Amino acid sequence: MIDRSPDWSAMLATRMLGKVARMRFPRPVTRAAIMAYAKYFGVALDDVDPDQLRRGFLSFDEFFTRKLRPGARSLAANSDLFVSPCDGFLREAVEVQAGSTVVAKGHEYSVGELLGDQGLAQQFVGGLQVTIYLHPRDYHRVHAPCSGEIKSMTAVPGRLLPVTDASLDREPRLFSLNERLIHRLDTPRGAVCVVMVAAFGVGHMTCAYRVSEPHPLERIHETIEPAVKVDRGGELGIFHLGSTVVLYVERGFELASGVEPGPIRFGMPLLRAKGGRP
């Protein structure tokens, strides 16, 4: 049996990390900590607004959730392409099988389990599951891969297991066990789900279109009425410390030309209609 109960020690440690990250220290202390972190993880500081860097950040969390400077990213020119919703490492793109299951690391697990909605999962049979891991160096805001309307948001409590390759080898169902935030979009090309998966060290996650923050131990499902229109590249949510994004699209898509597992950045081409047709 799968253990979905919270890991209280990991949860306590994670919440404490989040609390410390949001604490305000004297600017010289915060600046020194940020510069050490940036050097250790190889953060591209030229992506940050230079005026903001000069002024400094009030807390580590403010730095971690930083916005990009104007022009740091651009959306793929072809508007028919789905773009990467975030910076990170593209782990895989796999087809959702009949019964709304996927095979990862040689093991089968349920998309309905991950989404917390078996009916919604059925819409993605024949479509793709795309997994992107966010490294501590990455920009940690998550965006819409295409234009559409945000129809619902679901917050699912869960565990805070690490999301490393070694962890996935041990537990392929890891993403359906961890705490997650699910954004469901209706688009001209079918339903799209953008799933933010928390992990050890993720202080919390927030929605760009929701004022209050979901409680980490409370399951919330909200139908967004009226639906929120979002353009391709529009912001959906923020990781306060990082993790993984899992994207679901309906049948008829494939990886865009030249896209393969490896580093990817927000706004780069990710998916296209099969055969290159819009």
Show which residues are catalytic: 87, 143, 243
Which of 215 and 62 is assigned the larger pLDDT? 62
**pLDDT of 213 higher than 70:** no
Average predicted confidence (pLDDT) for the chain = 83
Residue 250 above 50 pLDDT?
yes
Judge contact between 162 and 199, C-beta under 8 A: yes
CA distances from 176 to 35, 61, 77, 142, 146 (A): 35, 26, 34, 19, 24
pLDDT at 2: 45
% of the chain beyond a pLDDT of 70: 77
Which bin fits 206, alpha (ψ -120 to 50), beta or left (φ > 0)?
Answer: beta
CA atoms of 128 and 269, how far apart (whole Å): 15
CB 47 within 8 A of CB 9: no
Can you give the pLDDT at residue 191?
Answer: 96
Which residues make Cβ contacts (< 8 Å) with residue 37, sequence separation at least 6?
43, 60, 63, 136
In terms of average pLDDT, the best of 7-16, 26-35, 111-120, 181-190 is 181-190
What is the arithmetic mean of pLDDT over 145-172? 76
Q: How far is residue 107 CA from its own chain's centroid?
A: 22
d(Cα 214, Cα 264) in Å, to the nearest integer?
A: 28
pLDDT(234) > 90: yes
pLDDT score recorded for residue 192: 97
Say yes or no to pLDDT of 189 above 70: yes
Q: Which residue has the higher pLDDT, 172 or 256?
A: 256
Instruction: For the chain, give every domain's residue range.
Output: 8-64, 82-276
Please compute the mean of the pLDDT values over residues 192-196 and round it to a whole number: 96
In Å, how far are 68, 92, 98, 145, 254 from 188, measured between CA atoms? 28, 25, 23, 13, 17
**Number of residues assigned to the chain:** 278
Give me 215's structure tokens.
């409680």
Residue 278 is predicted with a pLDDT of 44
Torsions phi, psi of 148, nearest 5? 175, -160
DSSP string, 142-200: EE-SS-EEEEEEEEE--B----SHHHHHH-TTHHHHB-EEEEEEEETTEEEEEEEE--T
pLDDT in tens, 127-148: 999 999 998 889 999 999 999 9
Please state the rounded mean pLDDT for residues 94-115: 81
Better-predicted residue by pLDDT, 101 or 119: 119
Q: CA-based angle 44:181:205, to the nearest 5?
A: 50
pLDDT for res 84: 98
Residue 180: closest CA among 246, 90, 132: 246
Q: Is the dihedral of CA 243, 220, 127, 276 positive or negative?
A: negative
- The residue with tokens 């933010």 is 196
Peptide bond into 226 cis (omega under 30): yes
Three-state secondary structure call for residue 184? strand
Q: What is the pLDDT of residue 249?
A: 97
CA dihedral 246, 250, 256, 261 (to 10 degrees): 30
The better pLDDT of the pair 213, 259 is held by 259
Task: State percent of the chain over pLDDT 90.
Answer: 41
d(CA 43, CA 27): 19
Mean pLDDT of 236-256: 91
